[in-house]
A and B are shown apart, each in its own frame.
Chain A
Amino acid sequence: MSRPKNGAEIDLTQFWIDRKDLAACPKKYGAWYGVEYLSPPANSDRVRRVFRGDEDSTFCATTLSIIQSAADGSGYVAVPASFQIQVGGLLAMNHGIDQGGISLSIDADGPWWLVYPIVVDAMQDVYVYMKSVAPNVNTQVIFGGIRVYP
Chain B
Amino acid sequence: MSMTLLQQWWRDHPEYDAKNAQQKTYGLSVVPIASPTVVPKLATTKIDPEADFLLTDIEMQFITTDNATYGPDPGPMNLKFQNFSQSRALMNIPLDAIGVVMQADSNPYIGQLPYPELIKAGGLFGVYVTRPAGHDTVRIYFALTGFELW
Taking Cβ atoms with an 8 Å cutoff, the residues of A that contact B are 1-4, 9-13, 16, 23, 25-37, 49, 51-52, 62-63, 65, 67, 69, 72-76, 109, 140, 142, 144-146
Contact = CB atoms under 8 A, between A and B. Distances in A.
Given A11-B4, A75-B134, A142-B101, A36 B114 contact: no
A73 B93 contact: no
Contact of A1 (B8, B92, B94, B112): B112
A32 B93 contact: yes
B78 to A, nearest CB: 9
B115 A30 contact: yes
9 contacts: A30-B90, A32-B101, A33-B92, A34-B93, A34-B100, A35-B95, A63-B114, A74-B133, A145-B115
Given A2-B112, A30-B113, A144-B114, A109 B8 contact: no
Given A2-B111, A34-B93, A67-B100, 20 more contacts: A2-B112, A2-B113, A4-B112, A12-B8, A29-B86, A30-B114, A31-B91, A33-B94, A35-B96, A62-B114, A65-B102, A67-B103, A72-B134, A73-B134, A75-B135, A76-B76, A109-B103, A142-B101, A145-B114, A146-B114
A146 B95 contact: no
Q: For the complex, would chain B's binding face be called helix, strand, loop or mixed by DSSP majority?
A: loop
Contacts of A69: 76, 132
A71 to B, nearest CB: 10
Contacts of B66: none
A9 B36 CA distance: 35
Interface string B72-105: 0001100000000010101111111110111101
A74 to B, nearest CB: 5
B114 A72 contact: no
A3 B90 contact: no
B2 interface: yes
B129 to A, nearest CB: 14
Contact of A109 (B2, B5, B105, B132): B105
B30 to A, nearest CB: 16
A36 B96 contact: yes
Nearest to B1: A2
Contacts of B58: 1
A31 B97 contact: no
